[in-house]
Amino acid sequence: MYAAMMNTALGTLLIKANEDAITTIHFMHDGEAVPELVSNALTDLCILQLGEYLNGQRNQFSVPIKPTGTLFQQRVWKALQEIPYGNTCSYGDIARKLGNPRAARAIGMANNRNPIPIVIPCHRVVGRNGQLTGYSGGLPQKNYLLNLERKPAVA
């Protein structure tokens, strides 16, 4: 397992990878233990791409990812990746897209367990009336990301 830290306007991010893909992006909180940091080419690439994204120079990620989760969570996370940059949708929209319109709460739980936020853009999912709902990094961070994406980005 490889790991690297990145300081951003959103706070400190812990990025983990294996030999093949990014497996985790975690918002660090005060007092959290820092693991041993040994980076690899993938953590370095992820840091580069996150930096470009946060500077408005990237609107898509090409770093390989491999989130671990149930089959249902995987389906939700794939659907999240299809939400275009600068757009939002509701939990109900995702549920309908996956063919189960009553699954909005389950979609919310899968969204909450997204191990690779930002790259898998769970911040683009909002409540049915457009209100901001929970985010692993915190609502100010979610708001920051949504505002960032409202500005034109370089393709």
14-42 pLDDT tens trace: 999 999 999 999 999 888 888 889 999 99
Counted domains in the chain:
2
With respect to residue 155, please indicate whether it lies within any of the assigned structural domains: no
Chain mean pLDDT for the chain? 93
pLDDT tens-digit readout, 78-109: 999 999 999 999 999 999 999 999 999 999 99
Q: Look at the pTM and tell me if it is higher than 0.85.
A: yes
- Domain assignment present for residue 66? The answer is no
122 catalytic residue (yes or no): yes
As a whole number of angstroms, the distance between CA 134 and CA 143 comes to 11
For residue 62, tell me if it sits in a domain: no
Q: What would the mean pLDDT of 51-75 be, rounded to a whole number?
A: 96
Q: How far is CA 96 from the centre of its chain?
A: 21
Going by pLDDT thresholds of 50, 70 and 90, the confidence category of residue 153 is low
N-terminal to C-terminal alpha carbon distance within the chain: 31
Catalytic residue, from 4, 46, 47, 122: name it: 122
Both 77 and 146 in one domain: the answer is yes
